[in-house]
Amino acid sequence: MSTIGFVGLGIMGAPMARHLVAAGHEVTGHDLSPRGVDALVAAGGHAASGVAEAVAGAEVVITMLPQDEHVEEVFFGPGGILESAKPGALYIDFSTIRPETSQRVAAAGRERGLRVLDAPVSGGEKGAVDAVLSIMVGGAREDFDAARPVFEAVGRTFELVGGSGAGQYVKAANQLIVGGTFGLVAEAIVLMEAAGVDARAGLDVIAGGLAASRILDLKRGSMLARSFEPGFRIDLHHKDMGIATAAARSADVALPMTGLVASLIAAARSRGYGSLDHSALLKVVEDLSGR
Ligand code: NAD
């Protein structure tokens, strides 16, 4: 059992914090919005009025925040984790952010005696609710081992993939596969519907063959029904494609498919779909096809 300070109780953070309480940890949470905090308290956790109160004295500090600027504010800002966490605390950042930001956070944290892991996740809201997330971890082996009880409470598959920032590179790779798959499932639906075939039966049979995927399993029903409640917002996937394309540029590699998917996701935002689920790429393909 550990005392845990948890900041960022949104779509992903709220169920993750709940699982940590259920696993016997003493969890104190903070979010700018009361919804996730109320849910944590109802599950047996505690509410904090700010970051400092949530993390002071905690053995483990966790963040699950949208973007780089939120992590930077919560970590480096006044009353933030760097200032308020106790030396020796293990800081696990589950957010998806740029690898360079994770590296900067880890270096600053280490100077103050914090142990820091970047640990972005995959599995979506359902993976968080069912505690079966895949967790890609960057940092030191002994810190990864110390974090096992936390990973076991919220996830099913977790791997140490390298030093600080490495988890974020793997997450970027994950997101280009997810974005590309959504784009192609969207194109498959548009093609089948335009050809007048039974797209539902079509996707059922496709899901039994080589093109099977978790995305087809979990999302084909809602895509066919044009239900785009997030889930994972287009805005956040756009951020992730920015991370992937920047990583490709600095590694001097060509990722042409990723560039195409990034453009489609950018188009989804410009068309006003940013707050919809990323499966709303279907709407962009329909727009392009005049359907
Ligand atoms: P979300 O917007 O639902 O939740 C983020 C929460 O952070 C919000 O409740 C917000 O109020 C809170 N927050 C922001 N700034 C804060 C601050 N300064 N102090 C306290 N709280 C603050 O986002 P989400 O969907 O839970 O995603 C979180 C992260 O997880 C993102 O990096 C995302 O890319 C990643 N992720 C999301 C999914 C998904 O399916 N939603 C899947 C995998 C990874």
> pLDDT of 56-115, one tens digit each?
999 999 999 999 999 999 999 999 999 999 999 999 999 999 999 999 999 999 999 999
Q: Is the pLDDT of residue 1 over 90?
A: no
Decide whether any atom of ligand 1 lies within 6 Å of the 65 Cβ: yes
Phi, psi of 170 (to 5 degrees): -70, -40
Task: Delimit the CATH 1.10.1040.10 region(s) of the chain.
Answer: 169-288
CB neighbours (10 Å) of residue 180? Answer: 17
Q: Over the stretch 236-260, which tens digit does the pLDDT of each residue have?
A: 999 999 999 999 999 999 999 999 9
Q: Over the stretch 13-50, which tens digit does the pLDDT of each residue have?
A: 999 999 999 999 999 999 999 999 999 999 999 999 99
Beta bridge partners of 29: 6, 47
Q: How buried is 254 (Cβ within 10 angstroms: 0-12 exposed, 13-18 middle, 19+ buried)?
A: exposed
Q: Are 244 and 176 in contact (CB under 8 A)?
A: yes
CATH architecture of residue range(s) 169-288: Orthogonal Bundle (1.10)
Phi, psi of 25 (to 5 degrees): -85, 155
Decide whether any atom of ligand 1 lies within 6 Å of the 31 Cβ: yes
Question: Per the residue annotation, which of 86, 126, 171, 219 is the catalytic one?
Answer: 171
CB neighbours (10 Å) of residue 190? Answer: 17
Tell me the CA–centroid distance for residue 7 and ligand 1, in Å.
9
Decide whether any atom of ligand 1 lies within 6 Å of the 74 Cβ: yes
Beta bridge partners of 28: 5, 46
To the nearest whole number, what is the mean pLDDT of the chain?
97
Q: Is the pLDDT of residue 168 over 90?
A: yes
CB neighbours of 186 closer than 8 A, spacing ≥ 6?
223, 279, 281, 282, 284, 285
Over residues 160-186, the mean pLDDT reads: 98
Tell me the CA–centroid distance for residue 14 and ligand 1, in Å.
9
86 a catalytic residue: no
Decide whether any atom of ligand 1 lies within 6 Å of the 5 Cβ: no
Rg of the Cα atoms in the chain: 20
Q: Over the stretch 112-145, which tens digit does the pLDDT of each residue have?
A: 999 999 999 999 999 999 999 999 999 999 999 9
ipTM of the complex: 0.99
Q: Over the stretch 182-204, which tens digit does the pLDDT of each residue have?
A: 999 999 999 999 999 999 999 99
Task: Delimit the CATH 3.40.50.720 region(s) of the chain.
Answer: 3-164
CATH architecture of residue range(s) 3-164: 3-Layer(aba) Sandwich (3.40)
